[in-house]
Structure 1
Amino acid sequence: MSLPNDFSYSEDHEWINSTPEAAAGTTVRVGITSVATERLGEVVFAELPEVGDTVTHGETCGEVESTKSVSDLYAPVTGTVTAVNEAVDADYSLINSDPFGAGWLFEVEVEEVGPLMNAEEYAKANGVD
Structure 2
Amino acid sequence: METKRKRYSLLLAGCVIVAAVVYLVSIPRHVQAGQHSRAVLYLGIGWLPYTGAFYAAARLFSSPAALPNMRAADIGLGLFLLSLLLSLGLDAWGFSPEQIPTAHLLQAIGIFVGLALFGWGIGRRSKSIAGAER
TM-score between both structures, scaled by the size of structure 2:
0.29
Q: Which has the higher strand share?
A: 1
Q: Which has the higher helix share?
A: 2
Which of 1 and 2 has greater Rg?
Answer: 2
